[in-house]
């Protein structure tokens, strides 16, 4: 007999670590930039780089609900979802999947710009700043500053969507992102979750790549 309510594992710890890390780091990154504490901004940026690399890696080798292949769908599927023609499946829905992909994409772009950026005093610079000229870095730094608005817009959309699902659809998205568990009413199967060894390897890979970039990407 299937009990009326049961919980499945949905968001494993790499997903939650990355997600809540973004939530903590984004305001701090904004604040340190605003205050001109570029050294702290650089350090936090490297922490952000690690989290994004972890999440991107996890999107390829991680648990099924975390995988891009599972939640990034074509326009036909997105339209069908919008028309209400698809059954609800736990995890990112076809529209939300694109939101996740877009958020990770803009974070990646911002990190790339930040790696090349510089303060104007030759004192603090992104770890890859030495690979570009002063003029290029000046331009990239301006983009880095302006591009934050794109991130803000997507974050606003993300929060609006969460509020919409919570209020209109009566679907609490925040709880599962905190606990990792989602309560379901039907016999939805438990998604395949990755082994902890896979997570450990993804963590090490992301940390190693972060360290290498943080050291200025030395060739050897």
**Binding residues for another protein (CB under 8 A):** 118, 120-123, 125, 129-130, 134-135, 137-138, 216
To the nearest whole angstrom, how small is the minimum distance from the Cβ of residue 119 to another protein?
8
To the nearest whole angstrom, how small is the minimum distance from the Cβ of residue 41 to another protein?
15
User: What ranges in 36-133 are assigned the alpha helix state H?
Assistant: 38-61, 68-71, 75-82, 94-116
Phi, psi of 57 (to 5 degrees): -60, -45
- Cβ proximity to another protein, 62 vs 126, nearer residue: 126
- Cβ proximity to another protein, 20 vs 134, nearer residue: 134
Helices 38-61 and 13-35: angle between axes, nearest 10 degrees: 160
d(CA 49, CA 152) in angstroms, rounded, equals 18
Q: Which two tokens stand for residue 22?
A: 């973004």
To the nearest whole angstrom, how small is the minimum distance from the Cβ of residue 202 to another protein?
30
- Cβ proximity to another protein, 127 vs 176, nearer residue: 127
* Bridge partners, residue 118, by sequence: 125
What is the length of the chain?
220
To the nearest whole angstrom, how small is the minimum distance from the Cβ of residue 123 to another protein?
4
Q: Which two tokens stand for residue 43?
A: 């350090």
Q: Which two tokens stand for residue 166?
A: 């919570």
- Cβ proximity to another protein, 1 vs 123, nearer residue: 123
To the nearest whole angstrom, how small is the minimum distance from the Cβ of residue 33 to another protein?
12
- Cβ proximity to another protein, 21 vs 216, nearer residue: 216
């Amino acid at each position: 007999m299937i009990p009326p309510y049961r919980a499945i594992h949905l968001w494993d710890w790499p997903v939650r670590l990355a997600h809540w890390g973004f939530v903590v780091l984004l305001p701090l990154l904004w604040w340190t930039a605003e205050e001109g504490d570029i050294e702290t901004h650089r350090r936090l940026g490297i922490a952000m780089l690690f989290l994004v690399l972890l999440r991107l890696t996890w999107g390829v080798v991680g648990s099924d609900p975390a995988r891009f292949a599972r939640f990034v769908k074509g326009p036909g599927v997105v339209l069908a979802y919008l028309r209400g023609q698809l059954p609800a499946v736990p995890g990112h829905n076809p529209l939300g999947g694109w939101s996740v992909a877009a958020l990770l994409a803009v974070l990646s772009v911002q990190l790339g710009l930040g790696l090349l950026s510089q303060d104007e005093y030759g004192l603090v610079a992104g770890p890859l700043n030495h690979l570009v000229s002063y003029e290029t870095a000046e331009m990239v730094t301006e983009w880095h500053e302006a591009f934050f608005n794109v991130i803000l817009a997507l974050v606003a959309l993300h929060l609006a969507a969460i509020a919409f699902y919570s209020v209109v659809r009566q679907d609490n998205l925040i709880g599962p992102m905190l606990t990792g568990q989602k309560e379901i009413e039907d016999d939805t199967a438990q998604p395949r979750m990755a082994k902890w060894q896979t997570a450990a390897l993804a963590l090490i890979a992301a940390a190693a790549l972060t360290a290498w970039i943080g050291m200025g990407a030395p060739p050897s």
